Amino acid sequence: MTATLPSPKRPRWRSLALLALLLTPLLWPLQQLAERYYSGALIEQNRQTLDLYVANLLGTLRRYEVLPQILGDLPALRNALLQPNKGADLNKANRLLQQVREQTGADVIYLMDPDGKTLAASNWDQQDSFIERNFAFRPYFREAFAGRSGRFFGLGTTSGKRGYYFAAAVRDGTAILGVLVVKVDLDHTETLWGNTPEQLLVTDANGVVILTSRSDWRFHASRPLDNAERAAIAANRPYPTLAPAPLRIEPRTWLRQSRELAETGWTVSILAPRKLIDRPVRTAVAIGGGTLLLLMLLLGLLMQRRRHYLERIALDARARQQLEQRVQERTQDLELLNSRLKQEVLEREQAQQELLRAQDELVQAGKLSALGTMSASISHELNQPLAAIRSYADNAGVLLDHQRNDDARDNLKLISQLTERMASIIAHLRAFARRDRHAPESVALQPAIDDALALLAKRRRAMQVELIRDLPEATLWVQAGETRLRQVLGNLLANALDALAECPQPRRLWLSTEQNAEGIELQLRDNGPGFSAEALQRAREPFFTTKTSAQGLGLGLAICDTLMRALGGELLLANHPDGGALLTLRLRAASHGGNQPLAAVSSES
């Protein structure tokens, strides 16, 4: 009697929940790390933005800084101060200041006498003109009249517009005749900020906001003002109010970065809302919490799998006990199965031997097929040159009988060229059998066409086939092999004459070329019966032919198609809409190469 195995103790989900509670505090350092990371990224981004804005602000101010000193040396302005009662000099000064303002883009340029009264101004012809107005209370006037460079930010008492004032004394030798002031409009510097969550804040030496991207913050005090600052505000009147209201900004709501400008005493600040940090931090914490939850789920799944595994072990133990009792019964079955397996192995070895014999026979059959294809190819390719040699040899005998030795010698030269061509064809067929690939060369197309036509000239004339050529006078150069190109052209022309032999008169053969961006297309057309539907599908197959066995072997188009693909070209077969076959050779264009084409084997009458 076998003992019963104790069932494994199942893990409790309470342990998993306790582990989750222990790991939850890990989200706090994750929050701190994410807040530090996103705060650093936001601070760096705002620092770059602050640098750009400060550079633009200082560039705008420095653009006009030296303008009062330069204009103070102009004789027209100096004459207006020396003769303030002379209307012509004042009118000339007004127009000069107006012209300079239009050229420089300043807001207002005006000239004051030693008492602070404005004698000439660029806005002399406007309703809010500064003429006859006294600005002696402004600190820039007092500084400039004292011989220093005057600087001041304030709200214009006449125009009501904010501006930064540059002032310089106009001198006649060592004597100070008056003060020249250039007012710069700073309103456009606020529009450069755009609509962003971050806010711009520029405060002056009194801590009052003078430039900001939020209009409700303008002219508010960012800190408490002391009595001296309040007295200076009352005396200089730079703001629309003598008691700027405090600016209430919650520090915990904004992340502030500031830059002090020593030249003006201003402080430029960027205030970024902390929600820009809180939002990605909450996202990171949510992702961390989700990851922790997923980890808990995976851990629970592993615990569940462990429980199943322990249960499976218990079941395997019980099954093993049962299996030991049935081993003896299965032994006989295994012995019977073993004997059957030996018989199957023996049968498989016999089948494998038969397969090897079949493979040997198939290889031998392939060799015989290749040998037959090569023999037929050589016979087909050498048939045309042999016929031409026979024709030239017969003509040479007739020419010798008529004592035309020079003409007979020319025929013998042509026979020599044809034998060289036969040797080239045999070498090409041998290379083709070895799948040899020759580098393409530049070949002249028209001489190759003339060569192929000369081989078939006698047959064409005997058949009374009219040849219509539409070839350009300029030589067309293509990338091909010279022998292989002539071989393709000869096969295609011979096939066209075979097709025309079945047709009544008139018999015509057209040759034309077309040059495009992709290369050169040679079109060969006849007015024969054309291709049948089956011929268009199977014409490129070896040994497929519509002729009798005495007329052809069905290798011409197959060889031409293979040669064209080897040359990087293409052979297209179709029927012309007006009847007859249309064959198109697509060849790659080439530049004039060093390879000169062979002369045509015969001139065509």
214-227: per-residue pLDDT in tens? 878 888 888 888 88
Same fold, 66-185 and 437-587: no
Residue boundaries of the structural domains of the chain: 38-64+189-273, 66-185, 437-587
Nearest-angstrom CA–CA distance, 179 and 174: 14
pLDDT at 108: 92
Neighbours of 490 (CB within 10 A): 25
- Taking residues 203-213, report their average pLDDT: 84
Span 252-293, pLDDT tens digits: 888 888 888 888 888 888 888 888 777 887 787 788 777 877
Q: What is the DSSP letter of 117?
A: B
The yes-or-no verdict on residue 180 having pLDDT over 90 is yes
**DSSP string covering 348-405:** HHHHHHHHHHHHHHHHHHHHHHHHHHHHHHHHHHHHHHHHHHHHHHHHHHHHHHTT-H
Residue 342 confidence (pLDDT) above 50: yes
Q: What is the pLDDT of residue 371?
A: 47
Q: Does position 300 have pLDDT exceeding 80, yes or no?
A: no
Give the pLDDT confidence of 19-67 residue by residue, as tens digits: 667 667 767 777 778 778 877 887 888 788 888 888 888 888 888 888 9
Q: Tell me: the pLDDT tens digits for 84-104? A: 888 888 899 899 999 998 898
pLDDT of residue 8: 46
Which residues face 509 on adjacent strands?
A: 467, 526
> Within 13 Å and on the Cβ side, how many CA atoms surround 95?
6
Q: 38-64+189-273 domain in CATH 3.30.450.20? A: yes
285 compared with 529, residue with greater pLDDT: 529
Other beta carbons within 10 Å of 392? 23
Q: Are 448 and 485 in contact (CB under 8 A)?
A: yes
CATH class of 66-185: alpha beta
Q: What is the pLDDT of residues 379-405, one digit of tens each?
A: 666 777 788 888 888 888 888 888 888
Residue 437 parent element (H or E):
none
Q: What is the pLDDT of residues 122-132, one digit of tens each?
A: 888 888 888 98
Q: CB-based contacts of 349: which residues, under 8 Å, 6+ apart?
A: none
Question: Quick one: residue 170, left, alpha or beta (phi over 0 = left, psi -120 to 50 = alpha)?
Answer: beta
pLDDT band at 603 (very low <50, low <70, confident <90, very high): very low
Q: Sorting pLDDT into bands at 50, 70 and 90, what band is 109?
A: very high
pLDDT tens for 343-373 read 889 888 888 888 767 655 644 454 444 445 4
**Mean pLDDT on 332-353:** 87
* Residue 153 bridge partners (DSSP): 164
Supply the pLDDT for residue 167.
93
Of the pLDDT bands very low, low, confident and very high (cuts 50, 70, 90), residue 565 is: confident
How far apart, in whole angstroms, are the C-alpha atoms of residue 509 and residue 585?
16
Percent of residues, the chain, with pLDDT higher than 70: 84
**The architecture CATH gives domain 437-587:** 2-Layer Sandwich (3.30)
DSSP calls for 558-596:
HHHHHHHHHTT-EEEEEE-TTSSEEEEEEE-B----SPP
- Residue 111 above 90 pLDDT? yes
